Structure 1
């Protein structure tokens, strides 16, 4: 009987069911969610030294202590663009390969970012609720929204996602500004080294940078107040990029115009105060996922696993050096 290499599945990722269906003849996917055992018992029962690869979603945190349970681990594959849920220092120390989604999800995330911005500024979801719940009869008195064209939009993080957002917003006639770790010589958009200055000069901010020690709460009360009462913010990065308590306070007190949020600081918890606000559009951390992207992601994950177990270079390595 052929023995397939073990892949520990944690999360599990959104694409897991499809991936399992396509690749179950090549890999032995072991999923703790399919067992009544505790996670620790499940891992022990599956002989940790025999597990050489882990597949995880952004919802599962791979700490150094957890990674040390697997002495033969050689590959971590994550289905997210971000890697803040993985202890990269431990992976670097042990020379564990890390494979991410690369730029595969950038277009879908950018589409969602623009959709959230339009929805929030033009009050589309709020208008839908208004029509569905109001008592019919009488004149409509729905409040005005804001036009998108011509607005100054500051992008925080001009990586692959940020560039796709910029490209889409340019077609709406928006003026693009940005903040990034480094100024990019290849683009002509005005660069701001200060987030506060970027917010001061923007009508809206789109947050799509990575979450790390340097960017945690990069959007704080000072930034939000600089954005102003008619300013809007969209976050398709990670919830921890924004000081969520300050965001809630500013929204309730009318210090900013509105927010479109696909991510939250303590997922899956969403602050109750946000649920009652008509100037907020909420989304369950799904910007990256469409029918098309899930299938492409399955092929990429499968390809990375095949390459690793065939002693070939993985397809989308994260450079840890």
Structure 2
């Protein structure tokens, strides 16, 4: 039975990628070994990781000024690792757009970093991306969460600020951002780039300096070892490389953003005209990848989620902090998935709006 998986992560993979994984599992590149068995010191894996770096560099139009690291520990580990590596004065700025921005702030503070909140949408229940002014004080960098998975908001364009650090975990390679003012990009792979277990860090090479940090947190050592100081997440990097190739074949980030806008617009157009469902996010702040909505009645929301699952539309339950529903339309979600969701939304509304 096929389903449309709207999970916030880990999320669905492209069908062609899953099929390639199936073909490679028994014997990768005719090696007689599964890709899950090959040594990370072998030429087989060197080709995988170097190919993945090249494909990612091509998709983002990265210059040689940036280093790409394939790490473990999730984006959460990077909340503290990043400032420990690049916050020279231990003073950073942060834009508060919701749960994951707050988590990044908390972890940085635990690492002894002073964090100034330079803008926040808390007073509006995080229903928008706040306006940001150029900070008056000197800061090592400004941290932005580009897409807020729980609240359903995102930056349509990056603010015109210098020294940005971007948590792109939930819209990585899903939107075509201009990266001239970006010092560092990071995010987990399990939403748009592959499977759980891999974290990407892209950092300006001039920011990689000697520190006395433990080796596994030390960007200079990790870069010198080509992300292989210890055994890397071999299978996760292999899966990410397949997704990167898939994205390149589609036409790159501009093309996938266009597809994501088509999918999300279809759903948002329905919600905007619905008499039962509502989306409270300011229109210009709406996420392309995480669409939040509700009926306003927790019991009816629960019924919707249960009935949707019966119709092969799975993992639509909203985050526990906000309730309601959430449809994650990541890169691998086909347009047909958005169509199936809208068809079911229409059907459910016609059967339930009178009892609201």
- Common topology (TM > 0.5): no
Instruction: Select the structure that is richer in helix.
Output: 2
State the TM-score, normalizing by the size of structure 2: 0.31
Higher relative contact order (CA 8 A, sep 6+): 2
